[in-house]
Amino acid sequence: MRLQTVLSVLSTDPSLPTIQGQHVLDLSEIGWTVSSTALNRIVPGHLPSQVHLDLYAAGVIGRYYGLNDFNLRWIADANWTYTSEPLRDLQKDAKSSWLVFNGLDTFATVDFCGQTVGTADNQFRQWIFDVSQILEDCRSDPVLSINFGSAPNIVNAIANDPSSEVWPARIQEAQVFEYPNRWFMRKEQSDFGWDWGPAFAPAGPWQPAYIVQLENEQAIYITNTDLDTYRKGQINHLPPDQSQPWVVNASIDFIGEVPSDALMSVLVSDAKTGEILITGDMFDVTISDGSITGHTVIGAHVPKLWWPNGLGDQNLYNFAISISTKESQTLASITKRTGFRTIFLNRLNITEDQIALGIAPGANWHFEVNGHEFYAKGSNIIPPDTFWPRVTETKMRRLLKAVVAGNQNMLRVWASGAYLPDFIYDIADEEGIFLWSEFQFGDALYPVDKAFLENVAAEVTYNVRRVNHHPSLALWAGGNEIESLMLPAVKAADPTAFVSLILPLVYENTRSISYMPSSTNNGYLGVNLSSPVPMAERYWNITPGKYYGDTDHYNYDSSVAFDTSSYPVGRFANEFGYHSMPSVQTWQQALDPQDLYFNSSVVMLRNHHYPMGGLSTDNLSKSALGMGEMTRSVERYYPLPRHSDRIANFSAWCHATQIFQADFYKSQIQFYRRGSGMPERQLGALYWQLEDIWQAPSWAGIEYDGRWKTLHYVAKDIYRPIIVSPFWNHNTSVLEIYATSDLWKPAAGTVRMTWLDMAGKPLPGNAGTPSVVDFQVGAINTTRIYSTHFADLSLSNLTNSILILSLTATAERTESTFSHENYFTPSFPKDLALRDPHLELSYSKDTGKFTVKATSGVSLYTWIDYPAGIIGYFEENSFVLLPGESREVGFVMQENPSGEDSWIKGVTVQSLWDQGN
Ligand code: BMA
Does 371 fall in a domain? no
Any atom of ligand 1 within 6 Å of the Cβ of 575:
yes
Distances (CA, A) of 894 to 150, 375, 710: 38, 28, 18
Q: Whose CA is nearest to atom 8 of ligand 1?
A: 480
**Which of 609-622 are b and which e, b meaning 16 or more Cβ less than 10 Å from the residue's Cβ?**
bbbbbeeeeeeeeb
pLDDT surpassing 60 at residue 644:
yes
Mean pLDDT, range 536-555, rounded to an integer? 93
- List the Cα angle 765/771/772 in 5-degree steps: 160
Name residues whose C-beta falls within 8 Å of residue 816's C-beta, 6 or more positions apart in sequence: none
- Domain, as residue range, for 821: 721-826
195 lines ligand 1 (CB under 6 A): yes
Is 68 in contact with 61 (CB distance < 8 Å)?
A: yes
Is the CB–ligand 1 distance for residue 911 below 6 Å? Answer: no
Pocket of ligand 1, candidates 438, 575, 686, 693: which has the most ligand atoms within 8 Å of its Cβ, to mutate?
Answer: 575
- From residue 378, alpha-carbon distances to 426, 688, 827, 835 in Å are 18, 9, 30, 35
The CATH code of the domain that includes 856 is: 2.60.40.10
Q: How far is the centre of ligand 1, averaged over its atoms, from the C-alpha of 272 (Å)?
A: 40
Distance CA 703, CA 708 (A): 6
Query: What average pLDDT does this structure show over 703-730?
Result: 97
* pLDDT tens-digit readout, 857-912: 999 999 999 999 999 999 999 999 999 999 999 999 999 999 999 999 999 999 99
Please write the tens of the pLDDT for every residue from 653-682.
999 999 999 999 999 999 999 999 999 999
Q: What percent of the chain has pLDDT over 70?
A: 97
Cα→Cα distances 479→189, 486, 509, Å: 12, 11, 18
Q: Over 50: is that where the pLDDT of 110 sits?
A: yes
Same domain, 778 and 639: no
Q: Say which DSSP state 500 is in.
A: I
Q: Is the pLDDT of residue 642 over 90?
A: yes
* Buried b or exposed e, range 562-591, using 16+ CB within 10 angstroms: bebeebbbbbbbbbbbbbbbbbbbbbbbbb
State the distance from the centre of ligand 1 to the C-alpha of 185, rounded, in angstroms. Answer: 20
What are the residue ranges of helices labelled H in 501-592? 503-509, 584-590
**136 and 122 fall within a common domain:** yes
Check which CATH number belongs to the domain holding 87 and give it: 2.60.120.260
Q: Which long-range contacts (CB under 8 A, 24 or more apart) does 766-775 make?
A: 767/793, 767/794, 767/795, 768/792, 768/793, 768/794, 769/793, 769/805, 773/737, 774/748, 774/749, 774/750, 775/739, 775/748, 775/749, 775/750, 775/751, 775/809
Report yes or no on 277 lying in a domain. Answer: no
Atom of ligand 1 at shortest distance to CA of 481? 8
Based on the fold, state whether residues 8 and 18 are members of the same structural domain. Answer: yes
- Determine, yes or no, domain membership for 72: yes
Strands in 366-369's sheet, in edge-to-edge order, are 343-346, 366-369, 372-373
Over 70: is that where the pLDDT of 10 sits?
no
Which ligand 1 atom is nearest residue 485's CA? Answer: 7
CA of 699 to the centre of ligand 1 (A): 9
Mutate which of 195, 196, 580 to test ligand 1's pocket (most atoms within 8 Å of Cβ)?
A: 195
443 close to ligand 1 (CB < 6 Angstrom)? yes
Same domain, 55 and 195: yes
Q: Place 540 in a pLDDT band, splitting at 50, 70 and 90.
A: confident
- C-alpha–C-alpha distance, residues 123 and 185, integer Å: 9
Give the pLDDT confidence score for residue 489 in this predicted structure: 65
Q: What gap in Å lies between CA 605 and CA 622, rounded to an integer? A: 10
Question: Does any ligand 1 atom lie closer than 6 A to the CB of residue 196?
Answer: yes
**Statement to judge: residues 67 and 166 lie in one domain:** yes
* pLDDT at res. 490: 61
DSSP state of 763: P
Over residues 389-446, the pLDDT tens digits come to 999 999 999 999 999 999 999 999 999 999 999 999 999 999 999 999 999 999 998 9
Check whether residue 755 and residue 678 sit in a common domain: no
Question: Where does the pLDDT of residue 17 fall: very low under 50, low under 70, confident under 90, or very high at 90 and above?
Answer: low
Ligand 1 center to residue 99 CA distance, Å? Answer: 38
Tens digits of residue pLDDT in 336-390: 999 999 999 999 999 999 999 999 999 999 999 999 999 999 999 999 999 999 9
- Whether the CB-CB separation of 319 and 452 falls below 8 Å is answered with no
The amino acid occupying position 849 is K
pLDDT score, position 564: 97
Q: Is the CB of 438 under 6 A from ligand 1?
A: no
Mean pLDDT across 104-124:
98
Model pLDDT, residue 494? 58
Any idea which of 145-149, 496-500, 665-669, 750-754 has the lowest mean pLDDT? 496-500
Q: Is the CB of 368 under 6 A from ligand 1?
A: no
**193 Cα to the center of ligand 1, angstroms:** 12
C-beta of 481 in contact with ligand 1 (< 6 A): yes
In a domain, 13, yes or no: yes
| Other beta carbons within 10 Å of 661 | 27
Contact 478, 142 (CB under 8 A): no
pTM for the predicted model, two decimal places:
0.97
Phi and psi dihedrals of 466, rounded to 5?
-60, -40
User: Taking 60 as the threshold, does the pLDDT of residue 6 lie above it?
Assistant: no
* 852 shares its domain with 740: no
Ligand 1 centroid – CA 362 distance (Å): 27
Q: Is the dihedral of CA 5, 8, 9, 10 positive or negative?
A: positive
Per DSSP, the chain holds a count of helices (H) and strands (E) of 18, 46
Do 394 and 364 form a contact (C-beta atoms < 8 A)?
no
Extract the runs of DSSP E, i.e. beta strands, from 299-430.
317-324, 330-338, 343-346, 366-369, 372-373, 376-381, 410-413
368 catalytic residue (yes or no): no
407 lines ligand 1 (CB under 6 A): no
Same domain flag for 820 and 700: no
794 three-class SS: coil
pLDDT at 31: 98
Average pLDDT over residues 89-106: 95
**Contact between residue 187 and residue 149 where contact means Cβ atoms under 8 Å apart:** no
CATH number assigned to the domain comprising residue 693: 3.20.20.80
**Number of domains within the chain:** 4
Residue 613 lies in a domain: yes
- Of the three residues 183, 211, 239, the one that is the final residue of a domain is 211
* Residue having the nearest C-alpha atom to atom 6 of ligand 1: 195
Q: Are residues 791 and 692 in the same domain?
A: no
Is 640 contained in some domain?
A: yes
Residue 118: exposed, middle, or buried by beta-carbon count in 10 A (0-12, 13-18, 19+)?
middle
In a domain, 468, yes or no: no
Is residue 865 situated within a structural domain? Answer: yes
Residues 773 and 866 reside in one and the same domain: no
Which of 771, 799, 826 is the C-terminal boundary of a domain? 826
- Of the residues 373, 431, 481, 537, only one is catalytic, namely 481
- pLDDT given for residue 497 in this prediction: 81
Do residues 197 and 83 both lie within one domain?
yes
Q: Are residues 714 and 670 in the same domain?
A: yes
Task: Answer yes or no: are the C-beta atoms of 51 and 43 closer than 8 Å.
Answer: no
- Report the chain's terminal Cα–Cα distance, integer Å: 63
Closest CA to 850 of 906, 788, 778, 791: 906
Q: Is 688 in the pocket of ligand 1 (CB under 6 A)?
A: yes
* Domain limit, last residue, from 188, 211, 234: 211
- Tell me, in angstroms, the distance from the centre of ligand 1 to residue 289's CA: 39
Is a pLDDT exceeding 70 seen at residue 7?
A: no
